């Protein structure tokens, strides 16, 4: 430096000031993060550029290290960059994707969704889900797109997250929820056990078999069952072991002696195979047969009762037929008397059948038997007293008696004249071993006692004699027939 | 090298040299900011040459470039350097002596 030259010194000072300002500016720029690369002068080699942070290579290294698929698209949609994770996700070589675009790895529907996403992304961040095929396997991806500042224009940055596993998990979860809902909604008791015979699932219907909570406990411990399978009887624990070893049972009967309500059961069980052939436990369904068993017993009783009644009825019909034939002198007379008696019998049967063969009010029997003979029944017949109900045996007999009384009244008595009237009164004194029906005719023609005993009279006087407390007294009074029928108390409800 | 010359005008545009390091974020930001300033504030006044020092590191020596990005205005003398990503438009315009 030539200190004797003031101009040169001034220039040197100016240059030093500029260099100092430049150095200070560099430090400021570094401190404020305005630069991200420095030029380093190597003593032996030429200058090298040292990236301080976030250089392209660093970004690319970072993008390559990520599991998330990434791609950058130019404003025109051309692929600028694809990372290897996206290449793996789509199952397509990176060079192919860069050369042919993402269409090389996505089908038409996925590309349509992607193109719509890219269009939206020019205005801001957006995302969509796509489904695509990778080597024949269906896969799902969530794509996020964001605007990407490029030279003089905007491109789009894409990130692809493989959500196949998540979707599969969601579907599995939905399937499990559906299975649990089906299990809970099943009308039959359903129990699922693990390979150790511990109950893992049980629906509400199981509470009919055992009152205590069953989940988490061994099947054999909480369900006291005697199962009849394959000709032998086994307990619940042994049964479950058979099933878990691979044996399936279909509709075997079992009893649960200590069950709160369902004591007769029909059990089906099969090994539980969640995937492949491996047995993951077993599923047992238990159908409550208790009500069915009660119904079966009722049906058996009814069939026996029906058989008994049919035999009785046939014997009665045969007897009526024989006795009618022996007392009627003409075929026409037989036909009329026999069919009338059959109708009387059928009418009582019908009324009993309508009431499930339980009991019939006395009043209904009288009306049923008299009505066919007298259309103006309200004017000709009065029923008084306290009504009572008859069991089938007495009802059939009383029906036949009333039929014979009505037939006689039509032919010779109160129902054969305009002024005739029948007064029926019912009485049941609980201290007597019988109930009474009193039939009194008035206003009819003068009555003469019959010269011979016909079958009708036999029916009237003997039908109730099946019991020592039953019977009937028939009186041919001149002013009208009267009859008192005693119905045994054991047949009165 | 990339030529960012604006549309030609009557006067010869002043040459600016922008030193960058590949596609680092600050380099890309500097290119974008300079392009915007030139387009919006100084149309036709400057011809910009972009030098990628990753590709040609030896060119750093000519203007003694240490930090990247750096914008250099060679003429008129004295030479002016603007260090950073040129995000401060006012500072850039002052350094380029616009409005003098």
Q: State mean pLDDT over A207-212.
A: 84
Greatest mean pLDDT among A54-63, A143-152, B53-62: B53-62
The angle at the Cα of B75, spanning B71 to B79, to the nearest 5 degrees, equals 60
Report yes or no: A406 and A371 within 8 Å, Cβ to Cβ: no
- Of the listed ranges A122-131, A210-219, A260-269, the least confidently predicted one is A260-269
Position A44 scores a pLDDT of 66
Cα(B38)–Cα(B83) distance, integer angstroms: 17
pLDDT at B6 over 50: no
Minimum distance, in Å, between the CA of residue B10 and any CA atom of chain A: 25
Minimum distance, in Å, between the CA of residue B19 and any CA atom of chain A: 10
Interface test with A, best of B72, B79, B84, B87 (most A CBs within 10 A): B84
Mean pLDDT, chain B, whole residue set: 81
Position A165 scores a pLDDT of 87
Q: State mean pLDDT over A275-289.
A: 87
CB contact under 8 A, B81 and A30: no
B28/A contact by beta carbon, under 8 A: yes
Report yes or no: A125 and A146 within 8 Å, Cβ to Cβ: yes
pLDDT at B3 over 70: no
Q: State mean pLDDT over A390-402.
A: 93
- Fold type of domain A34-166: Beta-Lactamase (3.30.450)
pLDDT at A105 over 50: yes
Mean pLDDT, chain A, whole residue set: 86
pLDDT at B39 over 60: yes
Complex ipTM tops 0.85: no
The angle at the Cα of A359, spanning A358 to A364, to the nearest 5 degrees, equals 140
- Fold type of domain A294-491: Heat Shock Protein 90 (3.30.565)
Position A151 scores a pLDDT of 52
B4/A contact by beta carbon, under 8 A: no
Residue A483 exposure: Cα atoms within 13 Å on the Cβ side: 25
B33/A contact by beta carbon, under 8 A: no
CB contact under 8 A, B66 and A25: no
Nearest CB to A56; choose among B23, B66, B70: B23
Q: State mean pLDDT over A241-264.
A: 87
Nearest CB to B61; choose among A28, A47, A55: A47
Minimum distance, in Å, between the CA of residue A62 and any CA atom of chain B: 14
B35/A contact by beta carbon, under 8 A: yes
In SS3 terms, A428-453 reads as CCCCCCEEEEEEEEECCCCCCCCCCC
Cα(A142)–Cα(A126) distance, integer angstroms: 11
Position B18 scores a pLDDT of 94
Cα(A94)–Cα(A79) distance, integer angstroms: 11
Nearest CB to B67; choose among A14, A29, A57: A29
Report yes or no: A366 and A402 within 8 Å, Cβ to Cβ: yes
Which pLDDT tens digit goes with each residue over A405-422?
999 999 999 999 999 999
CATH 3.40.30.10 assigned to B2-96: yes
With bands split at pLDDT 50, 70 and 90, how would you rate the model's confidence at A453? confident
Minimum distance, in Å, between the CA of residue A29 and any CA atom of chain B: 6
Q: Which residues of B touch A47 (CB under 8 A)?
A: 53, 57-58, 60-61
Q: State mean pLDDT over A122-144.
A: 89
Contacts of A312 by beta carbon, 8 Å cutoff, 6+ apart: none
Position A43 scores a pLDDT of 64
Position A316 scores a pLDDT of 85
Question: How many beta carbons lie within 10 A of that of residue A238, not counting itself?
Answer: 13
Position B7 scores a pLDDT of 43
B40/A contact by beta carbon, under 8 A: no
Cα(A298)–Cα(A292) distance, integer angstroms: 10
CB contact under 8 A, B21 and A151: no
Cα(A361)–Cα(A367) distance, integer angstroms: 10
pLDDT at A428 over 80: yes
Task: Report the sign of the C-alpha dihedral through residues B83, B86, B90, B94, in that order.
Answer: positive
Contacts of A186 by beta carbon, 8 Å cutoff, 6+ apart: A203, A205, A285
B47/A contact by beta carbon, under 8 A: no
B25/A contact by beta carbon, under 8 A: yes
- Enumerate the domain spans of chain B: 2-96
DSSP state letters, A310-341: HHHHHHHHHHHHHHHHHH-SSHHHHHHHHHHH
- Enumerate the domain spans of chain A: 34-166, 187-288, 294-491
Is A294-491 the same fold as A34-166?
Answer: no
pLDDT at A458 over 70: yes
Position A55 scores a pLDDT of 46
pLDDT at B2 over 70: no
Nearest CB to B57; choose among A25, A49, A152: A49
CB contact under 8 A, B67 and A57: no
Q: State mean pLDDT over A290-299.
A: 86
Which pLDDT tens digit goes with each residue over B67-100?
899 999 887 777 888 999 898 888 888 888 754 4
User: Could you tell me where the DSSP H helices lie in A32-126?
Assistant: 56-65, 84-90, 94-100, 108-121
CB contact under 8 A, B25 and A54: yes
Q: Among 3.10.20.30, 3.20.20.10, 3.30.450.20, 3.30.420.270, what is the CATH number of A187-288?
A: 3.30.450.20
A54/B contact by beta carbon, under 8 A: yes
pLDDT at A200 over 50: yes
Position A491 scores a pLDDT of 94
DSSP state letters, B21-55: -TT-HHHHHHHHHHHHHHHHT-TTTEEEEEEETTT
A35/B contact by beta carbon, under 8 A: yes
Quote the percentage of chain A above a pLDDT of 70.
94
Interface test with B, best of A20, A21, A29, A42 (most B CBs within 10 A): A29
CB contact under 8 A, A56 and B24: yes
Cα(A461)–Cα(A467) distance, integer angstroms: 13
Minimum distance, in Å, between the CA of residue A173 and any CA atom of chain B: 44
> Tokens for A416?
């054969």
B42/A contact by beta carbon, under 8 A: no
Which pLDDT tens digit goes with each residue over A316-366?
899 889 888 888 889 999 999 899 999 988 988 888 888 878 899 999 999
Which residue has better confidence, A56 or A383? A383
Which residue has better confidence, A262 or A96? A96
Chain A residue at shortest CA distance from B21: A37
Q: Which of A414, A303, A404 lies closest to A348 in space, CA to CA? A: A404
pLDDT at B9 over 50: no
Q: Is A7 helix (H, G, I), strand (E, B) or coil?
A: helix
116-175 in chain A: CB under 8 A from chain B: 149, 151-152
Which residue has better confidence, A446 or A74? A446
Q: State mean pLDDT over A283-292.
A: 88
Quote the percentage of chain A above a pLDDT of 90.
39
Position A481 scores a pLDDT of 95
pLDDT at A150 over 80: no
CB contact under 8 A, B83 and A25: yes
């Amino acid at each position: 430096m030539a200190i004797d030259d003031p101009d040169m010194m001034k220039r040197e000072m100016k240059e030093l000031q500029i260099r100092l300002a430049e150095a200070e500016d560099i430090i400021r720029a570094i401190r404020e993060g305005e630069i991200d690369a420095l030029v380093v002068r190597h003593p032996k080699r030429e200058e090298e550029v040292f990236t301080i942070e976030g250089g392209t290579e660093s970004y690319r290294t970072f993008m390559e290290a990520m599991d998330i698929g990434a791609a950058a698209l130019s404003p025109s949609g051309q692929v600028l960059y694809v990372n290897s994770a996206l290449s793996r996700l789509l199952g397509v070589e990176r060079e192919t994707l860069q050369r042919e675009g993402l269409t090389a790895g996505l089908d038409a529907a996925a590309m349509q969704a992607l193109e719509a996403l890219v269009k939206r992304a020019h205005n801001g961040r957006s995302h969509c889900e796509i489904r695509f095929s990778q080597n024949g396997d269906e896969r799902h991806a969530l794509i996020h797109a964001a605007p990407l500042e490029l030279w003089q224009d905007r491109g789009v940055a894409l990130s692809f997250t493989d959500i196949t596993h998540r979707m599969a998990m969601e579907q599995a979860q939905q399937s499990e929820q559906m299975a649990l809902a089906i299990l809970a909604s099943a009308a039959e008791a359903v129990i699922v056990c693990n390979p150790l015979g511990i109950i893992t699932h049980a629906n509400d219907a199981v509470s009919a078999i055992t009152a205590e909570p069953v989940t988490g406990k061994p099947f054999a411990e909480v369900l006291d069952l005697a199962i009849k399978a394959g000709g032998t009887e086994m307990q619940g624990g042994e049964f479950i072991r058979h099933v878990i070893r691979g044996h399936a049972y279909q509709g075997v009967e079992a009893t649960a002696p200590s069950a709160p309500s369902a004591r007769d059961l029909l059990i089906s069980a099969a090994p539980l195979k969640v995937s492949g052939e491996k047995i993951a436990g077993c599923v047992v369904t238990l159908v409550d047969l208790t009500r069915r068993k009660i119904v079966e017993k009722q049906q058996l009783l009814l069939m026996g009762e029906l058989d008994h009644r049919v035999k009785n009825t046939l014997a009665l019909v045969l007897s009526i037929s024989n006795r009618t034939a022996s007392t009627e002198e003409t075929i026409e007379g037989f036909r009329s008397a026999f069919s009338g008696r059959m109708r009387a019998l059928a009418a009582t049967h019908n009324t009993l059948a309508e009431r499930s063969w339980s009991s019939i009010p006395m009043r209904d029997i009288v009306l049923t038997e008299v009505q066919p003979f007298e259309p103006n029944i309200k004017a000709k017949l009065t029923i008084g007293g306290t009504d009572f109900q008859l069991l089938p045996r007495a009802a059939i007999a009383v029906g036949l008696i009333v039929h014979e009384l009505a037939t006689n009244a039509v032919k010779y008595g109160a129902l054969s004249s305009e002024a005739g009237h029948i007064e029926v009164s019912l009485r049941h004194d609980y201290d007597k071993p019988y109930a009474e029906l009193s039939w009194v005719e008035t206003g009819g023609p003068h009555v003469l006692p019959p010269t011979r005993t016909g079958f009708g009279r036999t029916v009237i006087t003997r039908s109730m004699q099946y019991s020592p407390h039953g019977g009937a007294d028939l009186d041919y009074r001149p002013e009208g027939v009267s009859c008192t029928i005693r119905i045994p108390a054991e047949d009165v409800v | 090298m990339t030529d960012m010359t604006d549309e030609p005008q009557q006067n010869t545009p002043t040459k600016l040299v922008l030193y960058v390091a590949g596609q680092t974020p600050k380099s890309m930001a500097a290119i974008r900011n300079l392009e915007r300033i030139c387009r919006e504030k100084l149309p036709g006044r400057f011809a910009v040459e972009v030098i990628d020092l990753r590709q040609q590191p030896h060119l750093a020596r000519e203007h003694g470039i240490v930090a990247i990005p750096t914008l250099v205005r060679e003429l008129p003398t004295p030479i002016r350097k603007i260090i950073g990503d040129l995000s401060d438009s006012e500072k850039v315009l002052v350094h380029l002596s616009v409005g003098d």
